[in-house]
Amino acid sequence: MSSWAPVDAASDGWAIGIDFGTAFSKIAATNNGGGGAGREIMPLHIGAAAKGRRSLIVPSALFLDRDRIFFGPSAISTLVASGDEKRQALQSFKTILGAEDFERAIDLMPLRSVDPSGTFKMGELIVLYLAYLLELMRQSAPSRLGPLFGPSSRVRLRYSRPGWIPRRATQAHHVMEQLFGLAADVRADVEGQLLAPDGLPFHKAKDALARGSQGRLPNLDGGVYEASAVAACHYVDPAVPNYLMVVDIGAGTADFAGFARDPRDQSVRVLPSARVTIDVAGDSFDRALMRVILRKAKGLKRSDEQHALWRNLLANIRDLKESLFEHRRVEIRFRNHVIQCTAREFIASQEYRDAARELAEVYNYSVARMAKAVKAEKGKHIGIVLAGGGAFLPCTVEMAQKTKKVDRTVSFELLPTTPAWTSDLSSEREFEQLFSQMCVAFGTAIAGQGLIQNVLPSWLENPAASVS
């Protein structure tokens, strides 16, 4: 089984980690300073560049409005302002890249509610969104990083990747190379129009896609598995337990993965038996909340009214869910109706309990497998790291806090979501509150070369079976 250094301490140039998340996208940059005092890490303020509500993250969304395309926060606001209850933004489209037959998936047409004109294929829309991300990266990166694109660039680019089906990992990376290569060409072609307040015209998008070469970005290193990126972030701290269990609850999937660090040379390896991926994740709780809100909308009697409310909720349910747990209640205004929901009502709902129970069942399975592997190596202590947008869910925190000793020799400890070392490397304070969502971007940026996989790694030849 191969092992890797969590951080490439010998490098002395800039590296950028791009986390094209299912719900939100994040980007971080690091300069390891050759392992010396010059090490630096920073989140890029792509949300501010996008003129969004939050300066560090942007919604992974695009909206096709008549003959123009809007991205990120503009996609959501334009959809809401349109008042068209039959339309929807394209969201959670990263999950397409995790499909077994992803080449066919990206060649499909989106729903008519997304693209009524039938102008674009799914792959083209993904390329356009990636071009938008690259432009946000260019706009928000400090000038001292130098050029980010072209032959003179010395900045390395990496992307976070989902738990690809092992036998398709190499092909998936080749597809990502093509998507990023074409996205870089499109970005250079339309440039500032990707951030224009009035959107990108269809014809300019189609022309740029047609002119793109699909050539490989020369400074694109490869992909970093999301759970490994989280582990890399935390293993930077020598005080972190040598055994880590990463619980990464994103929007589309929840990943459970085990890691072991050798205290002698600090190399890290994956414990394959503890790895499980399920599709009960943030989106599952989003849909649960939508069903609770719909049930509370007693004034909506007709099915067409209820369907219209469902479409309306789709646009901003992720923000509503965050606000619900932050303020303990939310209020939704729809047509002439006001619908209120409290956090207590949502947590008590059957929908919430069903999703939480399924998540806990797989978590406990992974815990048992992790404990067995660690016990076989005579280990005694395991750190639990929560990551992803679902890290703040009450059921997630509760199941991690309640993890008891599996037997008398192995114990678990819930670690802080923001590792202490980050305060020494960045003057940024805002990212600390979002670190559970930002850590994949950070880990992707700081990852050592052994973590950057563009071919099938040996430890994935016989992984633990995925649960779906």
> Does the pLDDT value for residue 48 go beyond 90?
yes
Q: For residue 50, what are its two tokens? A: 């996008």
Q: What is the structure's pLDDT at 433?
A: 63
Q: Backbone phi, then psi, for 76, in 5-degree steps?
A: -70, -45
Residue 332, pLDDT > 80, answer yes
Nearest residue to 295 (alpha-carbon basis) of 358, 232, 369, 348 = 348
The total of other beta-carbon atoms located within 10 Å of residue 468's CB is: 8
Cα 93 vs. chain centroid, distance in angstroms? Answer: 11
pLDDT at 427: 58
Residue-level pLDDT at 128: 97
Q: Which of 84-93, 350-359, 417-426 has the lowest mean pLDDT?
A: 417-426
pLDDT band at 46 (very low <50, low <70, confident <90, very high): very high
Please give the domain boundaries of the chain with CATH numbers for all domains: 14-224 (3.30.420), 283-350 (no CATH)
pLDDT at residue 426, rounded to an integer: 55
pLDDT at position 51 over 90: yes
pLDDT band for position 353 (cuts 50, 70, 90): very high
CA gap 72, 199 in Å, rounded: 11
**Residue 181 and residue 215: Cα distance in Å, rounded?**
5
User: SS3 string of 179-233?
Assistant: HHHHHHHHHHHHHHHHHCCCCEEHHHHHHHHHHCCCCCCCCEEEEEEHHHHHHHH
* Residue-averaged pLDDT of the chain: 84
Q: What is the mean pLDDT of residues 407-430?
A: 76
Identify the pLDDT of residue 424: 62
Q: Where is pLDDT greater, at 368 or 150?
A: 368
Average pLDDT over residues 411-430: 75
Taking the C-alpha atoms of residue 191 and residue 212, their distance in angstroms, rounded to an integer, is 13
- 68 pLDDT band (50/70/90 cuts)? very high
**Tens-place pLDDT, residues 180-215:** 999 999 999 997 899 999 999 999 999 999 998 867
How many C-beta atoms lie closer than 10 Å to residue 344's C-beta? 10
- The tokens describing 304, both together, are 């067409």
Percentage of the residues of the chain whose pLDDT score is greater than 70: 86
Structure confidence at residue 12 (pLDDT): 63
Greatest Cα pair distance, the chain, in angstroms, is 67
pLDDT classification of 287: cutoffs 50, 70, 90: very high
Please state whether beta strands 220-225 and 156-161 pair in parallel, antiparallel, or not at all (unpaired): parallel
Residue from 246, 102, 216 nearest 169 by CA: 102
How far apart are alpha carbons 294 and 332 in whole angstroms?
A: 11
* Nearest of 208, 197, 207, 204 to residue 70 by alpha carbon: 197
Q: How far apart are CA 33 and CA 10, in angstroms?
A: 8
